[in-house]
Structures are given as C-alpha cells and as structure tokens.
Structure 1
Amino acid sequence: MKKNMVPIIVLIIIIALFAGSVSATNNTNGVSIQKVVQKNLIDSGSNKFYWGERGGLFAYTWKTYKTSNGVVVQVHYKTINNSWYSTYSITKLTSSKLKIVETSPEVKLYSGRSSVTSYAKTSLTPVTYYWKNIRPQIKSDGYFFA
C-alpha cells in the first residue's frame, strides 16, 4: 500500500507546484496550498552552458522542497527546441539507505517506464544528502547519480 502511495503523493506535489493560479485553501486552517509549498522550499538555482549533444545552449533551473518524508527536487530543462521537467524524490528507507525515484519524459523515452528507482547507501538524512551529494552535481551539469 505504501509503495502505491509514493507516485500519488509525488503527482499531487507536482500539480500543486505547477498550478500557479491555484487558489484552493485548506478548510481546516485557511492556509493556501501554494503558501505551504513555498514555505518548504529549501533551495533553487539555475545554470546554462553549451552542450553539443543537447542541440546547443542547454539551460536548466531547479527547486528543492522538503516534504514530510524526504526531499523533492524539480528540474526544468530547456534547449532551443525542447523543454521538459524531471522530478526526483529522495526518501529514507532504512538507517543506512535512501531511495531516489526519477520521473521524467527522458526516463520514459530511454527506459520505457514512467520512473527509475535507485538507492544510495548512506546514513545521511535526505536533506543532508541533497546538500552534500546531489546539489553539487545538479549545479555543475543539471543531472545527478546516486
């Protein structure tokens, strides 16, 4: 049951983040969804460089959000001819293992599956792992590997 909930939770987060005109509020406390999501933003940035195999200028921006069970990193990639989003969900499985799930059109194109799951053997929390391992990789070339 929990395994089936992860894609649903990620989908809900993505919808809430990209719906700029969302005006829905939580009836229990009157706080808008956008304000809650923005409060959980822990990092954002952008970079661009010339990358021949991507068709010239390759630019990307990223935003990282802390969730109740880990971290969600959203990267928006742009080339001259194309634009797409990738979402990385990082959650703690055990005291020594993190689960990283990538969802993007590239994953679908190259693997035929909607997402790819990898694991990192570390005792770090998802937030600490993001700052020490993932962010430097994303900052340099837009991608990262567990």
Structure 2
Amino acid sequence: MARWIESWLPGSPVGPAPEPGGYPGQRFGLPETGHYSVAGLGRRIGGVCIDWALAYLLVLLVAGADAIGTPDFSWGVLGAWFVITALMVSVFGMTPGHIALGMRVARTDMAQYVGVPRALLRTALIALVLPPFLRDPDGRGWQDRASTTIVVRVVRG
C-alpha cells in the first residue's frame, strides 16, 4: 500500500515497494554499483558544500570582505548558489560540486536534460534544507521526487 505522501507528490512511483533485499535505484533500472548507480547522501552533501563555498567566494569577490556577516551578504550567497545550481542542473545536469565528486542529476524517465522548471523546483526545495533529508528507499529526497529526478554517480575511467 502506498504511503499518504505518494498520492500527491509528483514523481513518486505508486505501486509495489522495492523488493526486500533490493538496492536504491533498482526500480528505475539503475545498477547497484558503478556508473549511474544512486549517489550516496555523504557524496551529495559534499557536492552542496562545494557549490555553497563557490557561491560564497563569488559574493566575497563582488561585495568585498567588509560585507561578511551582514544579512545582504548571506542573501547574496543564497542567491548566487541558487543561480549556479539551477542554471547548471537545467543545462548540464550537474553543478561544480557534482562534477568534483562524480555525480549528475538525471531524470527518472532518462530524458537527456533536466530542464529549467524541474531544476528551479529542485533547487528551491534544496534551499529549504529539510526536503533533502526526507528520503525514500531509492535515496531520493523530496526535491528529487517532486522534480522526478535522481542523483547518480558518474564514474570516469
């Protein structure tokens, strides 16, 4: 039986739960390990931290060191992070943090591009902080479920 949230949250497969002993991403046809397997939470948090640090540095370069600690500086960092994340995910499917840690955002229907509306929704929900920690058995937070995306590993080699 589907949980109550699956009845209204887009991108939530309603139907049989993952098989016991299954692995994250199995219901989407993703491999258990290696290229295109589901990225872990630690790797995802690391990617957001890298993107946040990049946004911080960009705002620091524009506003100067005197602005550190002011509300305008904090909002500027959030705005820069939002633009970097939404733009890069919508066009390339990955942010600088994703690139550094070998990840990308993929649509669950495996279409090539995430697109602007999905990227904006996904980024807005990440900015709320809590949705990424409310995860399903496939490791997708509410931001991924609402935008019908999943973060996968990209193994170079």
TM-score of the pair, normalised by structure 1: 0.28
More helix by share: 2
TM-score of the pair, normalised by structure 2: 0.27
More strand by share: 1
